[in-house]
């Protein structure tokens, strides 16, 4: 069955679609998409909160729930102070037929809080100058306090991919939208979404018309300053898409494996690495990694990483009686790492670094 829709004669001038009528045609196409069940591309990586390379729980232990700290992949906390919320990947309080949600649990009362994610410049191309829609499913554990949840599409007009992630200059009084920093602009006028204790889909649309927009930040927050310890805000199945209507959620990566690979462009934990010791204190290992957005920061995930020389021996030359507490890690390429600061290595012998000891971060 063929599906057609009318096109007004004045949409076309000399066989060229005019800019003045593009929005009319875009709206017609969006309506048609909804009618035939078309699902638009999701520009938001890990919108389903399925990938959790850093862990599934973020509390004050180790300052993991600080303001401006990354939690589930691609999402970070924005809060009026540190330890305002605990963050977990939730698998029980989820939408119908859903699998994951991010749970924000109030830990310090009477503070505003939320989460945000940054869209890379290369993925913003095609969105700037057009209308986009940000949608998600959400609920609260009680509406007595968490009765004003808002969402925003924020444009960053500073240097591309050099975003000041803490986009809040001042949180303001209850019900007043936070003041943004320079180069950050609300593309929509945030308003109370009136969440309930049951999951529902919420969406906001806006024309991305800030001059020189380089990145987009998606921001969801509680705008109240009278909260109760232990109240929860749950968010699931978030999506950013081109057009003025919300279509069903899909992974940005197409599949869960694709979603993981998309996240690893920004953050990844390395597996085991094999190489050799080229001095008593230095080793070079080969470790497979996903190509990243930019040269990453190398982070040791343990204060006592070890190297074995040769592999699989009982005595680990990299530790012994002299643990490597502050190794100097130098990244050469996507595959090679040089690690300094070991003791007792035997130059020219094989070396081995165990899995899950090194992470790479290229977050925006």
Closest to 256 in 3D by CA, of 40, 45, 95: 45
- Asked whether 103 and 230 are in contact (CB, 8 A), the reply is no
Cα(37)–Cα(324) distance, integer angstroms? 57
- The residue count of the chain comes to 364
pLDDT number for residue 16: 47
Phi, psi for 230 (deg, rounded to 5): 90, 0
**Higher pLDDT pick, 305 / 278:** 278
Closest to 49 in 3D by CA, of 139, 142, 117: 117
Q: Is a pLDDT exceeding 60 seen at residue 139?
A: yes
Considering the domain architecture, whether residues 158 and 133 belong to the same structural domain is answered as yes
Burial class (CB in 10 A: 0-12, 13-18, 19+), 212: exposed
Kindly state the tokens that stand for 147.
């009765």
Query: Is the bond preceding 170 in cis, omega lying within 30 degrees of 0?
Result: no
pLDDT number for residue 333: 62
pLDDT number for residue 272: 80
Considering the domain architecture, whether residues 123 and 233 belong to the same structural domain is answered as yes
Cα(328)–Cα(141) distance, integer angstroms? 46
Indicate the SS3 state at residue 326.
coil
Q: Which helix (H) or strand (E) holds 90?
A: strand 85-90
Considering the domain architecture, whether residues 184 and 258 belong to the same structural domain is answered as yes
9 in a structural domain: no
**Higher pLDDT pick, 73 / 280:** 73
Phi, psi for 69 (deg, rounded to 5): -100, 140
Q: Is a pLDDT exceeding 70 seen at residue 55?
A: yes
Last residue of one domain, picked from the residues 233, 264, 295: 264
**In this structure, which long-range contacts are made by residues 11-18, counting pairs with CB atoms below 8 Å and at least 24 apart in sequence?**
none
Considering the domain architecture, whether residues 153 and 172 belong to the same structural domain is answered as yes
pLDDT number for residue 339: 77
Considering the domain architecture, whether residues 99 and 191 belong to the same structural domain is answered as yes
Last residue of one domain, picked from the residues 245, 264, 283: 264
16 in a structural domain: no
Q: Report the mean per-residue pLDDT for the chain.
A: 85
Q: Is a pLDDT exceeding 50 seen at residue 7?
A: no
Cα(90)–Cα(50) distance, integer angstroms? 10
- Mean pLDDT for 130-147 is 97
Q: 53-67, 174-188, 285-299: which range is least confident on average?
A: 285-299
- Asked whether 244 and 30 are in contact (CB, 8 A), the reply is yes
**Higher pLDDT pick, 315 / 81:** 81
CATH code of 223's domain: 2.60.120.260
Q: 299 lies in which domain range?
A: 267-361
This prediction has a pTM of 0.86
Read off the DSSP letter of residue 181: P
pLDDT number for residue 289: 83
**Higher pLDDT pick, 24 / 141:** 141
Taking only the tens place, the pLDDT of each residue in 104-133 is 999 999 999 999 999 999 999 999 999 999
pLDDT number for residue 296: 85
**Higher pLDDT pick, 318 / 162:** 162
Considering the domain architecture, whether residues 132 and 236 belong to the same structural domain is answered as yes
pLDDT number for residue 306: 66
Read off the DSSP letter of residue 178: P
Kindly state the tokens that stand for 197.
């204790």
Considering the domain architecture, whether residues 276 and 245 belong to the same structural domain is answered as no
Indicate the SS3 state at residue 203.
strand
Percent of the chain with pLDDT strictly greater than 90: 64
Last residue of one domain, picked from the residues 248, 264, 280: 264
Could you give the number of structural domains in the chain? 2
Three state DSSP letters for 236-297: EEEEEEECCCCCCCCCCCCCHHHHHHHHHCCEEECCCEEEEECCCCEEEEECCCCCCCCCCE
Characterize 115-126 residue by residue with b for buried, 16 or more Cβ atoms within 10 angstroms of its Cβ, and e for exposed: bbbbbbbebbee
Could you tell me where the DSSP H helices lie in 118-176?
Answer: 121-124
- Mean pLDDT for 249-266 is 96
Cα(181)–Cα(203) distance, integer angstroms? 24
pLDDT number for residue 326: 53
- Asked whether 290 and 349 are in contact (CB, 8 A), the reply is no
Considering the domain architecture, whether residues 106 and 176 belong to the same structural domain is answered as yes
- Mean pLDDT for 258-282 is 88
pLDDT number for residue 36: 54
Taking only the tens place, the pLDDT of each residue in 309-339 is 655 443 344 443 344 445 666 665 666 677 7
Kindly state the tokens that stand for 83.
């330890």
Considering the domain architecture, whether residues 221 and 299 belong to the same structural domain is answered as no
Considering the domain architecture, whether residues 118 and 257 belong to the same structural domain is answered as yes
pLDDT number for residue 331: 63
103 in a structural domain: yes
Closest to 349 in 3D by CA, of 306, 311, 305, 304: 311
Percent of the chain with pLDDT strictly greater than 70: 80
Distance spanning both ends of the chain, measured CA to CA:
46
Considering the domain architecture, whether residues 128 and 44 belong to the same structural domain is answered as yes
Considering the domain architecture, whether residues 209 and 348 belong to the same structural domain is answered as no
Taking only the tens place, the pLDDT of each residue in 210-231 is 999 999 999 999 999 999 999 9
β-strands 336-340, 85-90 pairing: unpaired
């Amino acid at each position: 069955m063929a599906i057609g829709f009318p096109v007004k004669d004045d949409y076309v001038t000399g066989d060229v679609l005019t800019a003045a009528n593009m929005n009319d045609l875009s709206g017609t196409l969006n309506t048609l998409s909804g009618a035939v069940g078309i699902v638009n591309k999701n520009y938001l990586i890990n919108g389903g909160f399925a990938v959790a390379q850093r862990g599934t729980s973020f509390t004050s232990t180790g300052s993991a729930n600080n303001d401006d700290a990354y939690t589930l992949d691609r999402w970070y906390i924005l809060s009026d102070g540190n330890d305002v919320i605990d963050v977990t990947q939730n698998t029980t309080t989820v939408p119908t037929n859903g699998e994951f949600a991010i749970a924000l649990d109030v830990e310090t009362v009477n503070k505003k809080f939320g989460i945000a994610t940054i869209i890379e410049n290369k993925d913003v191309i095609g969105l700037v100058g057009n209308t986009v829609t940000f949608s998600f499913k959400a609920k609260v554990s009680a509406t007595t306090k968490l009765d004003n949840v808002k969402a925003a599409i924020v444009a960053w007009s500073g240097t591309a991919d050099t975003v000041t992630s803490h986009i809040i200059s001042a949180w303001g009084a209850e019900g007043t939208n936070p003041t943004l920093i320079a180069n950050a602009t609300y593309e929509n006028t945030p308003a109370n979404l009136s969440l309930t204790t049951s999951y529902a889909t919420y969406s906001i649309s806006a024309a991305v018309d800030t001059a020189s927009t380089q990145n987009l930040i998606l921001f969801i927050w509680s705008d109240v300053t009278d909260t109760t310890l232990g109240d929860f805000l749950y968010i699931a199945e978030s999506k950013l898409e081109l057009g003025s209507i919300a279509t069903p959620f899909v992974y940005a990566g197409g599949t869960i494996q694709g979603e993981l690979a998309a996240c690893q462009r920004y953050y990844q934990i390395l597996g085991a690495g094999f190489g050799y010791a080229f001095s008593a204190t230095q080793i070079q290992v080969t470790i497979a990694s996903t190509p990243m957005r930019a040269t990453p920061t190398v982070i040791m995930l343990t204060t006592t990483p070890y190297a074995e020389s040769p592999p699989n021996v009982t005595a680990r030359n990299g530790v012994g009686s002299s643990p490597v507490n502050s190794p100097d890690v130098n990244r050469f390429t996507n595959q090679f790492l040089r690690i300094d600061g070991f003791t007792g290595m035997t130059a020219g012998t094989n070396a081995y670094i165990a899995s899950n000891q090194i992470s790479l971060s290229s977050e925006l």
